[in-house]
Amino acid sequence: MSDLNYDLAIVGAGPGGYVSAIRAAHHGLRVALVDPNPPGGVCLHTGCIPTKTMVASVDLLRQAQQSSQWAVSIAQAEAQLAAIVDRRQKVVTKLAAGVQNLIDKNGVDFIKGRGRLKSPTEIEVTDAEDNVTQTLANPRAIILATGSRPTDLPIAPRDGTRILNSDDLLTLTELPPKLLILGGGYIGCEFASIFAALGSEVTVLEAEPRLLPGMDPDLCDFLRRGFKRQKITVRLNETVQSATATDQGVSVQLADETLEGTHLLVAVGRTPNTEALGLEAAGVALDGRAIGVNEFCQTNVPNIHAIGDVTGKMQLAHVATAQGRVVVDNLIAGKNNAAMNYDEIPAAVFTHPEIATIGLTEAEAETRGIPIRMGRFPFAAIGKALAQGETDGFVKLIAHAETGQLLGGHILGGHAAELIGQITLAIKLKATAEQLTETIFAHPTLSEAILEASEALFGQATHLPKARER
């Protein structure tokens, strides 16, 4: 048993866990951070950072291949997957060392091992052989931040060679000639965009009527057209019956035909890591397959909190970080002052072109009975977009029809993930569309599309022809 008295014990050192630990340490709390793997979690090691490093490489490749559009001549533009993987690993290694250094410098006790609840007030730490190496007793608060893993499908049994999950796909050093992707969510779409640019023949199979189910339909439809230009085959409303690996590749059985490929990526979501966590021993309740939490990220056991993918909320690294901040801030205050508001959280999909979104869609507003007005503006009418050759896409804003308060923002186009921050701030500050029209944006910039979209809410976009009155 540990003879140290911890204010906070955290199980899981991903972007939720390690950031919470550092933030708590900044406020003078004694913190234990438990994880069998190096800090950083899925985001750093097999998720956000590795994939975005690959996106950066293929974006440069696209520009080089299309250099004549910029009046630049590049004789040969090609990329090797093995070299991209090598660069990717260097980026991950550097960032991982930085995270470990931050943990050490802030006085957080990093305990290598697997943490599980022994009771509502105790955490056991076990080694790889499941031997108990340490017990953390009576911390003031506990945070469970164990993340998630790729969801397996019994009809497509993973072998790690031909039938792959997203972790497996990152281990490839040779380009899959014919890649089939089961799942048209953000993971499937991002990998489709990456591998098609590298030269794979890519087919995406999605059971729903559109890609990126749950996102604004205009974004989904535009992305599908973009995928067609990139020679990515998209098949919607498709139900896979089974998938079988062979020596030569993989065979996927649909309702009325069989598709052949060299590899199959199963990208049908992620499953919260709740197994072997001692939830039953501590009396922590599940909500489906996830740990149930309230707006303060508390479980049904008041001193035990959960954050990140394990809660089954928005499975995004910055959501885990935000949830951790709520827990730590309330712990410091001694009462629940901070709370999560998921309508104020942006999401990004790093396809080509990028997609970013925040807040309500038109359909969600209708479901909630909120009257809205909508404004949309194309990047094709923005000078900086033409200069950069990034004219695909648009900005779409949604505001309350009566108060004018901004409720949602949706962007498809170059640098969408960066641009969404401006709309996020406006929504966080409860700004109105009118206030946004009064804001001065630098010229020439892509962000001027946000200004024009806010003007379009009133039918007054400067650089669009005004609709004729009937």
Which residue type occupies 453? A
Query: How many domains does the chain fold into?
Result: 3
Active site residue 305: no
Domain presence at residue 283: yes
Domain presence at residue 468: no
Range of the domain at 405: 353-456
Cis-peptide, bond into residue 444, ω within 30° of zero: yes
Distance CA 94, CA 86 (A): 13
Q: Token pair for residue 431? A: 């700004």
* 435 shares a domain with 328: no
- Crossing angle for the helix pair 416-428 and 448-456, nearest 10 degrees? 50
Distance CA 406, CA 404 (A): 6
Q: Which of 305, 318, 410, 443 is the catalytic position?
A: 443
Q: What is the DSSP letter of 344?
A: G
Number of residues in the chain: 470
Q: Name the β-bridge partners of 265.
A: 164, 181
Task: Indicate which CATH number applies to the domain containing 296.
Answer: 3.50.50.60
Using the 3D structure, point to which of 317, 342, 367 is the last residue of a domain: 342
Domain presence at residue 348: no
- Specify whether the CB–CB gap between 267 and 168 falls below 8 A: no
Q: For residue 86, how many C-alpha atoms fall within 13 Å in the half-sphere facing its CB? A: 6
* 295 shares a domain with 264: no
* 210 shares a domain with 92: no
The CA angle 281-286-288, to the nearest 5 degrees, is 145
Cis-peptide, bond into residue 154, ω within 30° of zero: no
Domain presence at residue 72: yes
| Full pLDDT tens readout for the chain, 470 residues | 455 789 999 999 999 999 999 999 999 999 999 999 999 999 999 999 999 999 999 999 999 998 888 888 888 878 899 999 999 999 999 999 999 999 999 999 999 999 999 999 999 999 999 999 999 999 999 999 999 999 999 999 999 999 999 999 999 999 999 999 999 999 999 999 999 999 999 999 999 999 999 999 999 999 999 999 999 999 999 999 999 998 889 999 999 999 999 999 999 999 999 999 999 999 999 999 999 999 999 999 999 999 999 999 999 999 999 999 999 999 999 999 999 999 999 999 999 999 999 999 999 999 999 999 999 999 999 999 999 999 999 999 999 999 999 999 999 999 999 999 999 999 999 999 999 999 999 999 999 999 999 999 999 999 998 765 54
Q: What is the DSSP string of 221-254?
A: HHHHHHHHHTT-EEE-S----EEEE-SS-EEEE-
* 87 shares a domain with 232: no
Exposure class string for 114-150: b at 16+ Cβ within 10 A, else e: bbbbbebbbbbbbeeeeeeebebbebebbbbbbbbbb
Using the 3D structure, point to which of 342, 371, 388 is the last residue of a domain: 342
* 306 shares a domain with 185: no
Domain presence at residue 466: no
Domain presence at residue 157: no
* 383 shares a domain with 359: yes
Q: Token pair for residue 295? A: 């707006």
* 281 shares a domain with 211: no
Q: Which of 355, 344, 289 is nearest to 322 (CA)?
A: 344
* 400 shares a domain with 288: no
Q: How far is CA 216 from CA 9, 145, 195, 359, in A?
A: 39, 30, 25, 10
Task: Indicate which CATH number applies to the domain containing 433.
Answer: 3.30.390.30
* Chain position carrying tokens 């893993």: 149
Using the 3D structure, point to which of 293, 309, 342 is the last residue of a domain: 342
Domain presence at residue 375: yes
* 238 shares a domain with 121: no
* 276 shares a domain with 330: yes
* 104 shares a domain with 68: yes
The CA angle 398-404-407, to the nearest 5 degrees, is 35
Distance CA 436, CA 453 (A): 10
* 113 shares a domain with 209: no
Which residue type occupies 419? L
Domain presence at residue 445: yes
Q: Name the β-bridge partners of 326.
A: none
* Chain position carrying tokens 């109105």: 432
